[in-house]
Chain A
Amino acid sequence: MATHTLDFERPLLELERQIEELKRVAGEGAVDVAKELQPLEQKLSELRVQIYRNLTPMQRVQVARHPKRPYALDYLRSVFSDFVELHGDRLFRDDPAIVGGWARLDGQTVMAIGHQKGRDTKENLRRNFGMAHPEGYRKALRLMKLAEKFHAPVVTLVDTPGAYPGIGAEERGQAEAIAHNLLEMAGLRTPILTAIIGEGGSGGALGVGLGDRVLMLENAVYSVISPEGCAAILWKDASQRERAAEALKITAQDLLQLGVIDEIVPEPPGGAHADPDATAETLGSALRRHLAQLGKLRIVKLLKRREEKYLSMGALSGK
C-alpha cells in the first residue's frame, strides 16, 4: 500500500502507522489496546472521508490514474458474469488496449467493451497503457454491430489517457476510426450504456463513449485534453497542471452540471481502489438500473432521445 500512497493521503499514513504500532504491541503482550485503537480507527476513517470529499481536480486525476484502481477486466469479472472475450478487428490485428465480448448483467446478455490498462510494466507494454490504435476502435465497432444484430445492449467502460498518438496509429487512420465509430454509434439500433470508470481521455474516450446514458465514477475524470497537455499549450509549462485541471472542468460533479453525464456513481472513501468490491457493487447496481430503463424504450424513441441528448450539448448565445 505504501508504495502507491498519493501525496494528499500522507496524513492517513501517519494514523495507519500508529494503528499498526498499537496492534503490534497488542500482539506481543497481553495489553488491551481496544480502547486506544477504536478512536484512532474512527479518526482514520473520518479523515479519509474528509480528504476524499475535498479532493482538488488534479487530485482526482491522480486517483483516476491510480495503479491499483479497478480496470475494465476487473469489473468484467466482478460486476458481470459469463464473460467471453472476443478478439480482433478482422482487418489488421487484435488491440489489447480495448477488450470486449459477450457478458451477462443480471442474467441478461450484453456486449461489454472497455479500455484496458496494464497492471504492471509488462502488461502495460502489451496494452499500451490503455491507449488504443485504430484497430481497437474498429474491434469495438465490430462488437457493437454484433450486439445490434442480436438485439443485445452495449455497455462501454471508458478508461484511457487518450487514443494513441503514434506512427502506425496515424498510418491506419486513427481519426477515421474514431469518426466512423461516432457515426455508427449515433444510429446504433440497440441501447448504449457508458460508464467512465477512470480516465476519460478526449476523442479516445468518446470513440466508445457516445452512450444513451453516460455514468461516471465519483473520482473519474473526463477531459478534452490532459491537464498536462493543456498547461503546456496555454502556459508553456506542464507543471501548471493543477491550474489546467481546475480550468478544464473535468470532474464528475462539473460534468453533471454541464449536462455531459447523467449520473455520478459514488466511490467508497479512499477511492475505488480502496474497496473494489464495494465499488463493483455500486457500479453494478447503477448499470442494471439504467439498462432496465433503456430496455423499456422502443428503438425509435431510444434513438430520438440519443440524438436529442447530443444535439442539446454546448453553450451558445445569439440563436
Chain B
Amino acid sequence: MAWFKKERKPRTSERVKLEIPADAWEKCDRCGHIDIRDRFLRAFNVCPNCGYHRRITAQDYIDVFVDEGSWHELDAHLRSTDPLGFENYRERVELAMKKAGPLEGVRTGYARLDGMPIDLGVMDFNFMGGSMGSVVGEKIARLTRRSVEKRVPLIIVSASGGARMQEGVLSLMQMAKTSVEIARLRDARIPFISILTNPTTGGVSASYAMQADVIVAEPGAVIGFAGPRVIKQTIGQDLPEGFQTSEFLLEHGMVDAVVPRSELRDTAAQLLRHMAGRKPAEAAD
C-alpha cells in the first residue's frame, strides 16, 4: 500500500549500506534478475532490469490511481449466489474470498485523481482468475451508471480470464448488461478509459475492456479474445513470438498506447484533462 508513496520521498542511501537480510531479496520471474525487494516495490513491482510487469493486487492499482485518502468503496456487499447449483462453486467462491478478500472479481469505488473526481473499477485476477460472473457484471454496470448520473469519468482496470463458467449463460449475459450501461455512458459523453493488464481475455475483452474511448495496455500483457492455449490447440501450430501481447495489439491498431505502470497515473490524468476539457496539469490550481 505504501510502496509507491515512498518514491516521492528523497531516497536515502543509508539503508543500502546496511546488512540486507536474505529474505529481502527477490528474483524476476522472467529474466532471473535478483534485487532488493524494495527496489521491485519502488518500481511498482516492475523488474528494474527487464521491465517485466509482475501481477499486483487490486488494492495496489487503487493506490496507483487515487489521491491519498480519496477512495470510497462501492457495492462491497454484493455476493454471488449459485444460480445453476454448479458443483463445488460455493466452495470455490469461499476459497477465493479467503485468498483475495470478499470483494469478488472487481472492486469499484469513487475517488479523486489529481484532484479530479473519477469512478474506478479494478479487477482482481486473484479472485477466480478475474472471471466475470453476476457480481462483476453488476458492479461494473452500477459503477458505469454512477458515472452517467454524477457525470464523472470512468476508469476500469481489467484483468480477467473471461466469463465465469460456473454461472453459465448468466455470466455471458453480463457482457450484454455492462454494454447497455457503457452505451448510455457513451451517449452521455462521459470519458471512459480502459486499462488492460495481464491477462485480459474472453468475455471481459469482448465487452467493456474494449469499449472505452481510450484503451491503454500495460507492457507485455496478454490481451485477446481466445486464450493462447485454445488457439494453439485449434490451429495445431505454435504461435508467433509476441502474439497477443500489448505490443502486438498496438501494432495491429487495437490499443491506443502501451504505458508502463509507473506512468499509468499521469497518463490517465492527462487523458482525462483532455477529454473533460480541462487545462493542462501545470496550469491547474
Residues of A within 8 A of B (CB): 163-167, 169-176, 178-180, 182-187, 202-203, 206-207, 210, 222-225, 229-230, 233-234, 247-250, 255, 258, 260, 306-307, 310-311, 313-319
Contact = CB atoms under 8 A, between A and B. Distances in A.
Interface in B63-85: 77-84
B235 A179 contact: no
Nearest to A166: B235
A172 B251 CA distance: 11
Contact of B79 (A230, A258, A318): A318
B13 interface: no
Contacts of B285: none
B12 interface: no
A230 B169 CA distance: 13
Contacts of A167: 231, 235, 239-240, 243
B86 interface: yes
Contact of B210 (A180, A225, A319): A180
A260 B133 CA distance: 14
B203 interface: yes
Contact of A175 (B79, B83, B186, B206): B206
Contacts of A313: 134, 170, 173-174, 176-177
Chain A at the B interface: SS class: helix
Given A170-B225, A171-B252, A249 B210 contact: no
Interface of B: 77-84, 86-87, 133-135, 137-138, 141, 163, 165, 167-177, 179-184, 186-187, 201-203, 205-211, 223-226, 230-231, 234-235, 239-240, 243-244, 248, 252-254
Contacts, number: 185
A183 B211 contact: yes
A310 B180 contact: yes
Most buried by B among A222, A234, A311: A311
18 contacts: A167-B243, A169-B226, A174-B206, A175-B206, A178-B206, A179-B209, A184-B183, A185-B179, A224-B167, A249-B84, A258-B168, A258-B169, A307-B180, A310-B176, A314-B173, A316-B80, A316-B81, A318-B79
Given A165-B226, A250-B169, A260-B170, A315 B183 contact: no
Contacts of B174: 313-314
A310 B169 contact: no
Nearest to B179: A182
B76 to A, nearest CB: 9
Given A167-B231, A315-B134, A319-B78, A230 B165 contact: yes
B132 to A, nearest CB: 10
B30 to A, nearest CB: 22
A315 B80 contact: yes
Nearest to B181: A311
Contact of B165 (A174, A224, A315): A224
A183 B187 CA distance: 11
A46 B42 CA distance: 74
Contact of A314 (B137, B202, B234): B137
